[in-house]
Amino acid sequence: MKGTMNKVAISIMVGFLLLTLIFTGENQQANAAVEKITIRGILAHDAVGIGFGAEPDSYNSLKSMIANDPDNRTGWSGFISVCNNSLSVGTDGKPILDPETGKPISPWEEKDRGNTDDSGRDKIYNVSDYQKEIVAKYGPEVYEKALKSGKSLGYETGTKTEIYSKNHHPLPCTDGQEGFYYNNFDFNLTMTFEVKMEEPVIPPLSDAKVTGKVYWELQRLKDDEPSYVVISSAFQIPEGKHYATREEYHLASYEGAVLKEPSPISVETPGMPLKGSTLSYGFEYEYTDEPIGWECHEWEEDEDGDEDCVDWQFNKDPDWEKVEYANFSDSMKIDHSQGEKIKASSLTEILKKKWVVGRMDVFGPSKTSSVYHERYRKADDNDRKDVYNLKTQTTLPMTPGKLIYEVELPSGAHENADFYPLKKSQSSGFYRPVEVDESLREDYKK
């Protein structure tokens, strides 16, 4: 192609999302379970043989025991008395009768009495003092729970057994003669306490944001057809953000299509119909941040007729009765220039231009948006000028010289060895002097 001109007109056919996050609901504690435990039949310690632990066998030993009221004895009671025949024999020498029973009144006059914890005062017993007995009957786990409860053992009503008794009140007796009565019982101890069930260790939830990537790009998918718009939308829920998730959907809508897919979206569609439109996208899912928690598998009725759970089990399955919803949406322009004719007065002006061939939004955790372009640049050995000062019979180079095509795509497809963005038929065009009258331009195409 040859011709003379001082300017070159070049015509080139270019061949080639706002985030709203909504999370509803608050984290709640899993259902608490309380285990009610009753310990029974633990024999109370009785320190017989230690200090006042010896069973009294005389007026004086019982008198001393009553006076000292020892704490290391359980289940005892007794009284001391002195013979006073005037209580039982009248001045006429006849027995005095009890007006209520009609029986002779005893000559034994009570002087003092005492008893142990069952009726004299409230008495508590430390769980730690009965470790051996509780472990033997209920096992070490129940003992540890009883100890942790902070409660104490107390007498179990109706479970006493007489193990020693002595009554020294001979009849007849001599005035001033000393007598005593003493007995000792074995008492069982009991306690009822509640323990909050310990929940299994569940890893804490993360506050990480949903991550993902959405893009559109022009790609030459068919050799001799205009480029297609390739759309990709993929999101991920960070591990540990929720206790469980379900119903995950990737969303995308563009000219003539609305997509809702359980897996990431990837579609290819002709580029021209989408030119100047908007790609809307989003992600939604259901979640729960709680397991089902404690469930009772066996109930028993207590002495009062109330039902107590005796077999709590922790259910780690997700509690979908406490389902929450998460969704977000955004959009981006599909603003490629496919099919447009670019006019410029010089090659330099063309080389300053770049054309949008893709956009990408990345979430991880904040949103970043990128725009991708194609452009031309001169090869290093290209010495073509925009303006030539012509002399008579001077020739003028008509082609723009060697140009380098550069493009970058969101998917990275441009880095593949087989990437080829041009049509199979290659490019074609023409050059003409600018000064040629419009009516003659068709005749001067070169």
How confident is the model over 153-204, as pLDDT tens digits?
A: 988 877 778 888 999 999 999 999 999 999 988 888 899 888 887 777 777 7
pLDDT of residue 369: 95
* Rounded Cα–Cα distance for residues 118 and 111 (Å): 21
Instruction: Indicate the range of 80-94, 276-290, 294-308 predicted with least confidence.
Output: 294-308
CA distances from 119 to 47, 74, 76, 192, 250 (A): 19, 11, 10, 21, 75
Residue 247 carries which side chain, given as an amino acid letter? E
Phi-psi group of 32: left, alpha or beta (phi > 0 → left; psi -120 to 50 → alpha; rest → beta): beta
- With cut-offs at 50, 70 and 90, classify the pLDDT of residue 28: very low
* Rounded Cα–Cα distance for residues 144 and 131 (Å): 9
- With cut-offs at 50, 70 and 90, classify the pLDDT of residue 225: confident
Where is mean pLDDT largest: 119-123, 142-146, 305-309, 420-424? 142-146
Q: How much of the chain exceeds pLDDT 70, in percent?
A: 83
- The pTM of the full predicted model, rounded to 2 decimals, is 0.60
| Cα-based angle 133, 138, 144 (whole degrees, multiple of 5) | 85
* Rounded Cα–Cα distance for residues 63 and 110 (Å): 12
Residue 43 carries which side chain, given as an amino acid letter? L
Answer for the pair 301, 275: CB distance below 8 angstroms, yes or no: no
Using DSSP bridges, classify how beta strands 324-334 and 341-344 pair: parallel, antiparallel or unpaired: unpaired
| Average confidence (pLDDT) over 227-254 | 94
For residue 108, is pLDDT > 60?
yes
Where is mean pLDDT largest: 72-86, 408-422, 430-444? 72-86
- With cut-offs at 50, 70 and 90, classify the pLDDT of residue 445: low
- Determine if the peptide bond prior to 107 is cis (ω within 30°): no
pLDDT of residue 358: 95
For residue 17, is pLDDT > 50?
no
Q: Starting at the edge strand that comes first in sequence, how are the strands of the sheet with 154-155 ordered?
A: 34-43, 188-196, 154-155
CA distances from 323 to 22, 26, 320 (A): 14, 11, 5
- With cut-offs at 50, 70 and 90, classify the pLDDT of residue 304: confident
* Rounded Cα–Cα distance for residues 182 and 168 (Å): 9
* Rounded Cα–Cα distance for residues 106 and 437 (Å): 154
Among candidate residues 320, 373, 313, 376, the one with its CA nearest the CA of residue 348: 376
More confident residue, 396 or 401: 401
> Which of helix, strand or coil describes residue 436?
coil
Answer for the pair 330, 19: CB distance below 8 angstroms, yes or no: yes
Backbone angles phi, psi at 134, to 5 degrees: -70, -45
pLDDT of residue 274: 94
- With cut-offs at 50, 70 and 90, classify the pLDDT of residue 257: very high
Answer for the pair 331, 266: CB distance below 8 angstroms, yes or no: no
Where is mean pLDDT largest: 21-25, 123-127, 392-396? 123-127
How confident is the model over 316-368, as pLDDT tens digits?
A: 999 999 999 999 899 999 999 988 888 888 888 888 899 999 999 999 878 99
Output the DSSP codes for 316-337: EEE-GGG-EEEEEEEEEEE---
pLDDT of residue 395: 72
